[in-house]
Structure 1
Amino acid sequence: MWPGAGPWQASVGSVAVALLVAAVIARFFIPRLWSPSGIKPRGAASSAAAAGARLPAGSLGWPLLGETLAFIFAAYSQRPESFAEERRLLYGSVFKSHLWGAPAVVSSDPEVSRAVLQADASAFVPWYPRSLMELMGDSSILVLGGGLQRRVHGLAGAFFKSPHLKARVTADMQRRVGRAMDAWRRNNGGSGGGATVVRVQDEAKSIVFEILVRALIGLDEGHEMQYLRQQFKEFIAGLISLPVKLPGTQLYRSLKAKKRMTKLIQKIIQEKRRQKRITDECDNLRETDHPRDMIDVLLGNGSDELTNELISDNMIDFMIPAEDSVPVLITLAVKYLSECPLALQQLEEENMELKRQKSGTGETLEWTDYMSLTFTQHVITETLRMGNIINGIMRKAVRDVEVRGHLIPKGWRVLVYFRAVHLDAAVHDDPHAFNPWRWEERTDVMSSSGFTPFGGGQRLCPGLDLARLEASIFLHHLVTSFRWVAEEDAVVNFPTVRLSRGMPIAVTPRT
């Protein structure tokens, strides 16, 4: 998926119509954005050009539409990376194109992509589709820049990485996964001992959403949690939709859903501010106390810039991985393991050994136990590489930028296409094979420029450790409690990565 993207309920045909309409509007009502070269006229004193950088080779495609339709048709296929692969053979791993109504440079080169990700706001700023920008708002961490972005990102990263939160998430996840799997067992018993069919994707979404919302805003299970989830589903459906806000459109419904979520979250924030004033006046807060949730972390910073609106908007942003990223990671891991018996066997052996060790001593599994499962982490890493839950990110050049000899003109977009790198045979041997063992010799996976499933630079996903932890817990309890037979299912790669049938598996309890 694209960072922050949600389901898009349009067909290819409607997408094409929307793009054509948008292109016509841009062409005739904003003519200064369009020139034959796709570059705004500028003086000869371009520092990047003067330094010898050159615009990459490539094609701007059809008038108005550019190459967007070709990108979409490839994205709906089983090989979305074919769009980049075909052009890489013609022009190289960095090439120019025209996507989503603007000239763009596409990178499937690990070093160029890394340089773009590491660049600061003086060179590139985030760029997202208009519907997503409408829903996220100006205070979203996805678009914030400068010191405020660094502050929010740093606070979130420190909180999500804290041992205290990991311990809480582990306990919550174990309890919630255990309750779900108890229900599977009861259904199994009620069916006369036969297998129970569960849809991994649906189960994972339900579990992860509740865990993450509790960590973000301190909301426990109950009516408000269910209400929030209903509104969130409506909200996320509009993240990539036609940018029309008329009543009855998806974007209109999504904006209404966000208002309802914001009202609930701001009520929580206001109550927390009131409690904080009382606590501060009484001077009862001990240094050993830990923030209960992410709202507490932001309120505790004491910055006037962290307004109720900014906090509520970003709490909604941080919920997005609970709907897309983490549940899909879990679901894809189950799919790939089902198709690779040797990997599943080794995963089972590793997790059963941990379970025996802890059962023998009477100890409860801690978050460090799950993260120490070496082969399980290799499985998660390989799932991230093959699954490409985040296909790539887009940036906009705020000035002429030179990146490793390539000129990216001011105003152009840059598509850092993770999928094309992760599935490039020049970077990863036999890239379309699920091979967790390939990571055994790579001691520092996240430092590799050829592996960027969580983005990079100042906007590296702050919740990457939690994503791995939650997936590890789910897989541990699944393989140590059940055997399963997977039904046929297909991966859909656009506009978000998901399993078309939700990954149904027939589970039977281990005896």
Structure 2
Amino acid sequence: MDNILIVSVTVFLLCTVILLYRNRLSLMLKSKYRNKLPSGTLGWPFIGETLEFVSCAYSDRPESFMDKRSRVYGKVFKSHIFGSPTIVSTDADVNKFILQSDAKVFVPSYPKSLTQLMGESSILLINGSLQRRIHGLIGAFFKSQQLKAQITRDMQKYVKESMSSWKEDCPVYIQDETKKIAFHVLVKALISLDPGQEMELLKKHFQEFISGLMSLPINLPGTKLYQSLQAKKKMVKLVRRIILAKRNSGICRVPKDVVDVLLNDASEKLTDDLIADNIIDMMIPGEDSVPVLMTLATKYLSECPAALQQLTEENMKLKKIQDQVGESLCWSDYLSLPFTQTVITETLRMGNIIIGVMRKALRDVEIKGNLIPKGWCVFANFRSVHLDDRNYDCPYQFNPWRWQDKDMSSCNFTPFGGGQRLCPGLDLARLEASIFLHHFVTQFRWHAEADAIVNFPTVRMKRRMPVMVRRVES
């Protein structure tokens, strides 16, 4: 009897706290902001709508969370995700404003576990002049012809090495193969490290590090976050050893990698710890973004024979010219293939490798009649814009030809973000994908296994895109 009474009182008190929390929050919002806030719901107390948001993110239709609410509340609505009241935007103009605003209006906002792993000095989190300085230095180096030539040579080398081991009777796991290739290429560009024992050790620690990016924010021995933080410490130690070796041997005035670029800068704020942290953060595209781009391009081409045929014909013509001239292709040869670039663009639109960005408002901001209160987060969702039938005809259909006469500078297309935090590696991602596709379609014909034809989240998180290949006779 006593136990029943205790349980009843506990449930009553809990319900009372929840109701008081909801009523207080509702009254606060109504009194302070009246009718300026976008429509929407904050969901359950404390957890908000996080569970449904995450559940949809891991489904075949991550945009279903946004679509369901935008149909009821409009393209901009309020919610409560990852522990913070949030304004969600699926409006291209609102997203553009958010991306182009400076650090006086919005600052990056990420889940706590990711913030802890990135560190306070990460380029993803820092603001102001230091962020602009680092972003500018890295962006200029990534755009240089020197690095593009190096990336092309390395990419050709590692692609050929990988493809030479492919067997016709065995499935080839595209995502696994492209991860190996892209990671080697990127690490070489960052710290001039070649494949070998140190590279394998770095890769092992990196796998442990990246597995905790979206873990629970509990830093205790045995937890995923703790293991990831320990792995990052080991990587930082390795990268600092490389930085120290460069300092002792004399900093190269003509930079060979990103470490050289940052060491050449005179700013005292660019400490060895800051450089090491950011080098590790910049390894993430080599593990995630670029391999997913190449994997999804393979997936979409497998589903669209007409696009695959035109892509193959275009690349075969280039290969024939290369064979006649007897010289290796350079980076401009790959990027000059018009249909190949439309395939990559359409893959970026449909695949949405960067689903969106989260920012925190430093003051009350009003955009197109929608208020984002100070202290609230805002989620600029790119995927919903890219898959909106008001922006693209038949948005779920892979159609590279749609880009032949379309302006890619439109705010309806933001696969790499925008503004001061535009991804500095966007040109290199296109280059690597172009090189991979060229060698793939000129050397092999393939068919995807039945379970390989899956949507973006599944191919990214669970599957490795198995295909059965057959070599093309010379």
1:332-411 to 2 correspondences below 5 Å: 332-411=296-375
Q: In the alignment, is residue 507 of structure 1 matched against residue 469 of structure 2? A: yes
Q: Determine the structure 2 residue equivalent to 1:226.
A: 200
Measured after TM superposition, the shift of residue 363 of structure 1 is 2.1
2:217 is aligned with 1:253: no
In the TM superposition, what is the alpha-carbon distance from 1:72 to its structure 2 partner? 2.0
Q: 1:379 to 1:493 in 2, by over 3 A?
A: closer
Distance, in Å, in 2 between the alignment partners of 1:379 and 1:324 is 19
> CA-to-partner distance for each residue in 1:231-267, whole Å, 9 max, x for gaps?
0000000010011111111111100000000000001
Q: CA, structure 1 residues 318+374, in 2 after alignment: closer, same or farther (shift >3 Å)?
A: same
* Cα distance change of structure 1 residues 208 and 232 upon mapping to structure 2, 3 Å threshold: same
The structure-2 alpha-carbon separation of the partners of 1:251 and 1:499, relative to structure 1 and needing over 3 Å to count, comes to: closer
2:376 aligns to what? Answer: 412
CA gap 1:291/1:62 in 2 versus in 1, 3 angstroms:
same
Distance 2:367 2:27 in 1: 19
Q: Which residue of 2 aligns with 1:156?
A: 138
1:413-432 alignment runs, 5 A limit: 413-432=377-396
What is aligned with 1:169? 151
| 1:134 maps to amino acid | Q
Cα deviation, 1:391-424, whole Å, max 9, x if unaligned, reads 1110000111112221100011101011111111
Give the match for residue 240 of structure 1: 214
**Residue number in structure 1 paired with 2:247:** 273
State whether structure 2 residue 183 is matched by structure 1 residue 209. yes
Decide whether the 8 Å contact of 2:56 with 2:62 is kept in 1: yes
CA offset digits 1:431-487 (Å, max 9, x no partner): 000000010111x41x21011110111000000000000000000000000111111
Amino acid at match of 1:152: I
Pairwise CA distance, 1:33: 13
Q: Distance in 2 between matches of 1:79 and 1:154?
A: 35
Which AA in structure 1 matches 2:25?
Answer: P
* Candidates 436, 439, 446, aligned match of 1:484: 446
Structure 1 unpaired stretches of 5+: 1-23, 189-194, 280-284
1:439 aligned to which of 393, 400, 403: 403
Q: Which residue of structure 1 aligns with residue 460 of structure 2?
A: 498
CA–CA distance in structure 1, aligned partners of residues 235 and 228 of structure 2: 10
Give the C-alpha shift of residue 197 in structure 1.
1.6
Matched-pair contact (CA < 8 Å) for 2:315–2:442: yes
Output the amino acid matched with 2:184: E
Spell out, residue by residue over 1:316-375, the C-alpha distance to the aligned partner (whole angstroms, 9 max, x if none).
Answer: 010000111000000000000000000000000000001111111112100000000110
Preserved contact between residue 296 and residue 456 of structure 2 (Cα < 8 Å): no
Residue type matched to 1:153 in 2? H
SS at match of 1:461: coil
Contact (CA 8 Å) 2:22, 2:45: kept in 1 or not?
Answer: no
Please say if 1:291 is aligned against 2:255: yes
Query: 1:64, CA displacement in angstroms?
Result: 2.0
Per-residue CA deviations over 1:87-125 (Å, capped at 9, x if unaligned) read 111111111111111111100000000000000011100
Amino acid at match of 1:450: N
- Stretch of structure 1 that moved more, 368-377 or 53-62: 53-62
SS in 1 for 2:165: helix
CA distance in 1, matches of 2:212, 2:454: 21
The residue number in structure 2 matching 1:130 is 112
CA–CA distance in structure 2, aligned partners of residues 215 and 87 of structure 1 = 43
Equivalent-residue separation in structure 1 for 2:193 and 2:398 (angstroms): 38
**CA distance 1:39–1:372, change in 2 (3 Å):** farther
Distance 1:77 1:366 in 2: 40
The equivalent residue for 1:329 is 293
Pick closer, same or farther for the CA change 1:460–1:497 going to 2, 3 Å. Answer: farther
In structure 2, list runs of 5 or more residues that go unmatched.
Answer: 1-13
Distance 1:497 1:404, change over 3 A: farther
Q: Secondary structure at the match of 1:407?
A: strand
Q: Which has the higher contact order (CA 8 A, sep 6+)?
A: 1
**Matching residue's letter, 1:313:** D
Q: Partners of 1:452 and 1:33 in 2: how far apart?
A: 36
Segment of structure 1 superposing worse, 33-42 or 245-254: 33-42
8 Å contact 1:54–1:407 — kept in the other structure? yes
- 1:16 is aligned to none
Aligned pair in 2 of structure 1 residues 183, 497: CA closer, same or farther (>3 Å)?
closer
- Say which SS state the counterpart of residue 359 (structure 2) adopts: strand
Question: In the alignment, what sits opposite 1:36?
Answer: 25
The corresponding residue for 2:416 is 454
- Whether the aligned pair in 1 keeps the contact of 2:46 and 2:83 (CA below 8 Å) is yes
Do structure 1's residue 102 and structure 2's residue 84 form an aligned pair?
A: yes
Shift of 1:66: 1.4
Match of 2:293, SS state, is helix
Q: 1:33 to 1:149 in 2, by over 3 A?
A: farther
Shift of 1:499: 5.8
The correspondence for 2:269, drawn from 280, 286, 305, is 305
Match of 1:8 in 2: none
Question: Is the partner of 2:276 in helix, strand or coil?
Answer: helix
The answer on whether the counterparts of 2:314 and 2:339 sit within 8 Å (CA) in structure 1 is yes
Residue 37 and residue 217 in structure 1: after superposition, are their counterparts in 2 closer, same or farther (change >3 A)?
farther
Aligned-partner residue type, residue 57 of structure 2: A
Counterpart CA distance in 2 for 1:508 and 1:84 is: 41
Q: Choose which of 82, 93, 110 in structure 2 pairs with 1:111.
A: 93
> In structure 2, what residue type is equivalent to 1:340?
C
Whole-angstrom distance in 1 between the partners of 2:30 and 2:210:
38
Q: How many percent of aligned residue pairs carry the same amino acid?
A: 59
Structure 1 match to 2:4: none
Equivalent in the alignment of 2:126 = 144
| Structure 2 counterpart SS, 1:322 | helix
Relative to 1, partners in 2 of residues 1:57 and 1:449: Cα closer, same or farther, differing over 3 Å? Answer: same
Output the amino acid matched with 1:243. Answer: P
Output the TM-score relative to the length of structure 1: 0.86
Alpha-carbon distance between aligned partners in 2 of 1:425 and 1:207, rounded to the nearest angstrom: 36
User: Equivalent residue for 2:74?
Assistant: 92
Q: Could you say what the CA RMSD is over the residues aligned between the two structures, in angstroms?
A: 2.2
Note the C-alpha offset of 1:76.
2.5
Deviation at 1:53, TM superposition (A): 9.0
Q: How many residues align?
A: 456
Distance 1:33 1:346 in 2: 57
2:459, 2:283 → 1: CA distance?
17
Equivalent residue letter for 2:154: D
TM superposition shift of 1:276: 2.2
Which residue matches 1:63? Answer: 45
Letter matched to residue 394 of structure 1: M
